[in-house]
Amino acid sequence: MTSNSKGLELFPPIDSLNTFNLDVSELHTIHVSETGNANGKPVVFLHGGPGGGIEPFYSQYFHPEKWRLILIDQRGCGESTPFAELKENTTWDLVADIEKVREKLGINSWVVFGGSWGSTLALAYSQAHPNRVKGLILRGIFMLRKKELEWFYQKGASEIYPDAFEHYIKPIPSAERGDLLSAFYTRLTSEDSKQRLEAARAWAIWEGATSKLYSDPNLVERFGQDEFAEAFARIECHFFVNGGWFNPEDQLLQDIEKIRHIPAVIIQGRYDVVCPMTSAWDLHTAWPEADFHIIQDAGHSMTEPGIKSKLIEATEKFSAL
């Protein structure tokens, strides 16, 4: 059940097989790409944030001859348009989009892969459409409950990273620091683009600075770039002030019965500060049939060596399902 970092490395980078844009509403168009083998086992990749978008290296967790990998930029981010749009952008819109992509590609059922917010969306999607899901590979479990939001955005992670936290709260005046989510929401939705960007960069850098066991300046730099930060911060904050549109707030745990029969693996870094291990533990407790792996020397990111290796071990195993 517990592992240290070992060995498995990413597959080589590969070109897309196919990319397309899909109109999912009058307002939103989402960008989809396929990589790997057109005759391989279908798997859909659900990225984090929400608002993180797809990165090319995500393909490299999947053996290119075994998998037909479908990567979706969720509404408002990556190459989906309109950029950073919050209207018609809810968990249930994203769940419906995943079904639209599946139908468009003529796929009957697929494996679902998601980390962090991707794990949230993977759970929501599979509970809504269990007969479309052949297996679940979940990492850095996040269920968007109040205590998880409070831990990372208000008080908790602040005790471990007081230095980065000081930078995060800088755009918010002292009088408004009692409710940082609301204070950020006001600024991230402001008409004033300077104020919006300042808040977005502080928000995104906080997550970049805390995502790895050993802080990675490149990641912090990337999260701080204007374009990435704006979509990431705005979309995350919008989902979080709305509680992810889950009801009750622990809906994903309450509804676990709907997916208990599906083969699943849960991979969690012991020192994950963004999505602390209690959530993975709660999921494991509610769903003991799912393979559960704690990576002892890892934080949150899917690039942590032990997490990377275990994810690849999981994709290799699930390719034979």
Give the residue numbers annotated as catalytic, written as ranges. 116, 272, 300
Q: Should residue 135 be labelled a site residue for ligand STX when binding is judged by CB under 6 A? A: no
Inter-residue contact 84 to 75 (CB < 8 Å): no
Inter-residue contact 71 to 23 (CB < 8 Å): no
CB atoms within 10 A of CB 282: 17
* Segment lying near ligand STX (by CB under 6 A), choices 22-30, 41-49, 88-96, 280-288: 41-49
* Segment lying near ligand STX (by CB under 6 A), choices 43-51, 177-185, 188-196, 252-260: 43-51
Q: Should residue 48 be labelled a site residue for ligand STX when binding is judged by CB under 6 A? A: yes
Shortest reach from residue 89's CB to ligand STX, in Å:
15
Shortest reach from residue 219's CB to ligand STX, in Å:
8
Choose between 121 and 169: whose C-beta lies nearer to ligand STX.
Answer: 121
User: Exactly one of 60, 91, 116, 309 binds ligand STX (CB under 6 A); which one?
Assistant: 116
Residue reference for tokens 């989906």: 80
User: Exactly one of 28, 31, 41, 47 binds ligand STX (CB under 6 A); which one?
Assistant: 47
Q: Should residue 308 be labelled a site residue for ligand STX when binding is judged by CB under 6 A? A: no
Q: Should residue 269 be labelled a site residue for ligand STX when binding is judged by CB under 6 A? A: no
CB atoms within 10 A of CB 170: 11
Whole-number Å distance between alpha carbons of 69 and 255? 27
Residue 78 — left, alpha, or beta (φ > 0 → left; ψ -120 to 50 → alpha)? left
Q: Which is it for the CA torsion 82, 87, 91, 94, positive or negative?
A: negative
The backbone torsions φ and ψ at residue 260, rounded to the nearest 5 degrees and listed phi first, read -60, -25
- Token pair, residue 103, equals 């139908």
Q: Should residue 142 be labelled a site residue for ligand STX when binding is judged by CB under 6 A? A: yes
Choose between 40 and 60: whose C-beta lies nearer to ligand STX.
Answer: 60
Q: Should residue 52 be labelled a site residue for ligand STX when binding is judged by CB under 6 A? A: yes
Whole-number Å distance between alpha carbons of 10 and 307? 12
The backbone torsions φ and ψ at residue 24, rounded to the nearest 5 degrees and listed phi first, read -105, -10
Choose between 47 and 310: whose C-beta lies nearer to ligand STX.
Answer: 47
Shortest reach from residue 119's CB to ligand STX, in Å:
8
User: Exactly one of 45, 117, 125, 292 binds ligand STX (CB under 6 A); which one?
Assistant: 117
User: Exactly one of 274, 295, 311, 312 binds ligand STX (CB under 6 A); which one?
Assistant: 274
Determine the residue with CB nearest ligand STX.
48
Which 3 state secondary structure label does DSSP give 66? coil
- Token pair, residue 150, equals 């409070």
In order of 25, 32, 254, 275, the CA distances from 153 in angstroms are: 31, 31, 24, 11
Shortest reach from residue 207's CB to ligand STX, in Å:
5
Choose between 156 and 263: whose C-beta lies nearer to ligand STX.
Answer: 156
The 204-233 site mask, x for binding ligand STX (CB under 6 A), equals: ---x---x----------------------
The DSSP bridge partners found for residue 292 are 266
Burial of 265 (0-12, 13-18, 19+ CB in 10 A): buried
Summarize as ranges the residues that interact with ligand STX (CB under 6 A): 47-49, 52, 116-117, 142, 207, 211, 274
